[in-house]
Amino acid sequence: DVKVTQSSRYLVKRTGEKVFLECVQDMDHENMFWYRQDPGLGLRLIYFSYDVKMKEKGDIPEGYSVSREKKERFSLILESASTNQTSMYLCASRGVTGANVLTFGAGSRLTVL
């Protein structure tokens, strides 16, 4: 069964801290995504990676960076967390052949105090 694993389900951080959110997929997918989901706003794309070391900004990249050193791993970094980054963060992956279906990880709920 296809799997996307996010290392942390719940995190509490303080303003100004650096935060790493890790995501690993076992499907050999080329495409990986980071979204955040907030009530009433739906899912918004932060960053997208289409291959190792390749990335594209999404709709809301400000305050975030990403790293994709290996195909299976896509990390989201908050260099200096702020309270408005309190949210649910969802990682997803997708292969380039077949149906354009996204598979999501279970999510990481981040609270910034």
Which residues in this chain contact another protein in the complex, by CB under 8 A? 31, 33, 40-43, 45, 48, 50, 56, 58, 90, 94, 96, 99-107
CA 22 – CA 6 distance, rounded (Å): 6
Question: For another protein, which is the closer residue by CB, 85 or 93?
Answer: 93
Q: Residue 100 CB, nearest distance to another protein (Å)?
A: 5
Q: Residue 68 CB, nearest distance to another protein (Å)?
A: 14
CA 32 – CA 41 distance, rounded (Å): 21
Q: Which two tokens stand for residue 55?
A: 């990335």
